[in-house]
Structures are given as structure tokens and as C-alpha cells.
Structure 1
């Protein structure tokens, strides 16, 4: 395995490939993402421990959705069991994936703690008045120092964990090596990654325009009904494209095979 440098325009290709793959199996890929979000919601009901467990499972869920995208891209139906891909491998790779999850949980907890110190704890803030302007609330949230600090500190974490789950599972690389190679791949292909993110920003902005038009036609009440499903749908569409960023960032002598039966 070695790093593969791609042109910046490849980032837009990743967006297109992810969208095409999702449209091939929209119910299956959206269903897998919804299953993970439902699990996170249930875990969030457990004080303290539930949130930590949810963070630990993020790398495994990322791997599962990448495996599902790989199946859909190959013309096969992605089964729900693919969400457990990381836990169906040999014991060493499963342990490595859980180690990544623990590192991720600690890193995100530290970032959120530092952001809370700068911007204050949102949970302790008084609720906004009923007649508050949503635009002003959004502006105040964006201008908060804690939010920008969290985004800045999360950037290297996101780079480190972008490819790490796939590298540990499909190539048997240890936690430290996978995090290092992931950062190197993101940095070496920073042009493509920036184009990739720009493409998705455009997609999300376009979806917000559609929602605004629907609000004007259908009214705020109906918009509230479809807003959350629409956000989850766009998020699952985005996650369907992550596999292609990994696939094109690394070269192997032969295609890596899943260690678990599919």
C-alpha cells in the first residue's frame, strides 16, 4: 500500500460518485445511516456513559457505511449487517478499531471541553424567548468563540480519523500508523479534499434553497415535519461518498478483501 496523489478536480468526482452510488441503493444506504443515528439517540438517553459509547462507535459506523458504499458501487445490495463490518473481522482488527474509537472519544471530549471553557456550556444557558428571531439565534451561535475553536481543534482530528477505520480493517494497520497515514493522505490530497468539501457545501446549500421554497409553498408547519428527515438524508448522501476518498487516496498491489464474510 502506498499513498496516491490525485488532482484537485478529483474532489468533485468523489461528490459525483457518492451521489451516483447513493441513488443506486438509496433505501439501503439511508437505512444504514438512520440505524446508526437511532442507536446514537438511544445511547444518548443513558447519562454520561451513553454519549461516550456513541463516540467510541463512530469509527466503526464510518467503516460500516464505507463497506456498504463499496458494495453498492460494485452493483451488490448492501445488507444491514455491513454496519457491523468492523466487529466481524478477526479479533486483532476489532481490537484496533475499538482502540481508534476510544482515542476518538477522548479527543472529541477534550475539544468539547475546551470549547465550553471559551464559549460557555450551551446546556447551562437560559432558553431563548419564544419570540426570538431564528436568524439572530443562528448568528449568535456562529459568532460564538467556542464554536470556532471547536471547529479549528476538530480539523486535525477529522483528518486523522478520515481514512483510519478503513486502513485498520482492510489493511491490518495499527492505530497509530493508520492515524498518521490518514493525516498524510488528507494533506497530500488537500486540493482534492478542499474541492470535495466545497462540492458538498454547494449540495447542502442547494438543499437549503429547496427547503426554503417548500416552506414558502407548504408553510412552516409542514416544513418542520420534513426538515429532520431531509437533514438525515443529506447526511447519509454525504457519507456514501467517503469510501471513494479512501479508495483513490491509496494504491495497493491488489484490491483489499474484507476480512469478514459479506
Structure 2
């Protein structure tokens, strides 16, 4: 296995490949995403440890969606059981995935803990438990500082875990090494990931603007509130469908792994 360096324009190819694959089987991917949300919601209700367990499941869930995307890209229909791929590859790899999940939970806890130094934990509580963003919060410099601190720290955390689940599951890379390889791959393909991020951010802003414009034209402010949740879920499902392509192009691991066509 070795790192594959790609040109910046590949980031747009990843974006298009994710959209194209999602819309080949939108019901399948939407159903998988809703199932994932339901599982995390139920797990988070477990007293005392639910929040940690929910976070620890995220790397395994990411791997499940990557496996589903690979199935769909090859013309197959991804079944719901594919979300459990991380735990069906033997005890050793399942254990490694759990280690990865716990490491992610600890990492995110550290990020939120450091942000709490700025605002006393207001942003951290909102992130973990939800709540309305009020005008008072927006006007609070402490709250804004906490948001910026979280964003700055979450980027390297995300880089560490972006490719790690796939490396652990498909290539039996130990958790610590998978984090290192993932970070290096993201850093070396920085411009491709920058364009990839900008493309998804641009689409999100375009969709949000379209919803606001529609509610204004129709004179129905409720449209925005009613449509926000399903549209957000749809965007999340489309985005997570594209992650497999970023991994597939970032590493050369076998003859069957070929770069995404631009």
C-alpha cells in the first residue's frame, strides 16, 4: 500500500462521483442514513455511557457507508446489513474498529473540552445535546470563540480519522498506524480535499438559499422549518456517499483499486 497523490481537480471528481452514485440508488442510501441516525439515537439514550458509545460507532458507520458506496458503484444494491461490515470481518478487525471508535470519542471530547475554556461549555452542550441558537449566543464573543476553536481543532481530528476506518477494515492496518496514514494522505492531497470541501459547502449554501427564496416567494415561512430536517438528511446522505471515492483515490493498495474518473 502506498499513498497516491492526486491533482486538485480530483476533489471535484469525488464530489461528482458521490452525487452520481447517490442518485443511482437514492432510496437505498437515504434508508441507510436514516437507519444510522436511528441506531445512534437509540444508543445515545443508554444511561451514562450512551453518548460515548454513539460517538464510538461513527468510524464503524463511516466504514459501512463506504462499503455501501463500493457496492452501488459496482452495480449492486446495498442492503441494510452492510452498515455492520465493520463487525463482520473477524474479531481482530472488529476490536481494532472499536479501538478506533473510542479514540475518536476521546479526541472529540478533548476538542469540546478545550472549546469550553472559552465559553464555559455553552457550545459543547449545544453540540452534544442540541438547542436553539439564540441572538444572545450569536452576540456572545465567548461563544463565537468556542466555535472557532472547535472548528480549528476538528480539522486535524477529522484528517486523522478520515481514511482510518477503511485502512483498518480492508487492509488490516493497526489503529495507530491507520491514523498516521490517514493524516498524511489528507495533508499530501490538501488541494484536492480543499476543492472537495468547497464543492459540498457551495452546494449546501445553494440549497439553503433556494429554500429561503422559495419560502419568501410563496409567503410561507413554515416551509423553511418543515423542509430543513429532510433536506439536511438528504445532504448528509449524499455527502457520506462520496467518502469512499476519496479513499479509493488516495491509496494504491491493489490492482483492482483504480482512481476515480474525473
Q: Distance in 2 between matches of 1:138 and 1:207?
A: 23
Give the aligned partner of residue 248 of structure 2.
Answer: 247
Superposed CA RMSD: 2.1
1:35–1:201 CA distance, 2 compared to 1 (3 A): same
Paired residue total: 250
Given that 2:8 and 2:195 are in contact with CA atoms closer than 8 Å, whether structure 1 keeps it comes out as yes
Give the aligned partner of residue 222 of structure 2.
Answer: 221
Q: Distance in 1 between matches of 2:57 and 2:193?
A: 24
Q: Distance in 1 between matches of 2:142 and 2:196?
A: 23
1:24–1:218 CA distance, 2 compared to 1 (3 A): farther
Deviates more, 1:138-147 or 1:107-116: 138-147
Q: Distance in 1 between matches of 2:89 and 2:139?
A: 46
Deviates more, 1:38-47 or 1:165-174: 38-47
Give the aligned partner of residue 181 of structure 1.
Answer: 181
Q: Deviations over 1:153-210 (max 9, x none)?
A: 1111100100000001110110011001001100110010001001111110111111
1:47–1:250 CA distance, 2 compared to 1 (3 A): same
1:118–1:143 CA distance, 2 compared to 1 (3 A): closer
Shift of 1:128: 7.6
What's the TM-score, normalizing by structure 1? 0.89
Shift of 1:253: 2.9
Q: Distance in 1 between matches of 2:36 and 2:132?
A: 30
Q: Deviations over 1:108-143 (max 9, x none)?
A: 11111111121222249xx889xx65xx75565896
What's the TM-score, normalizing by structure 2? 0.89
1:141–1:27 CA distance, 2 compared to 1 (3 A): farther
Runs of 4+ in 1 over 4 A off after TM superposition: 136-143
Residue ranges of structure 1 left out of the alignment (5+ in a row): 257-262
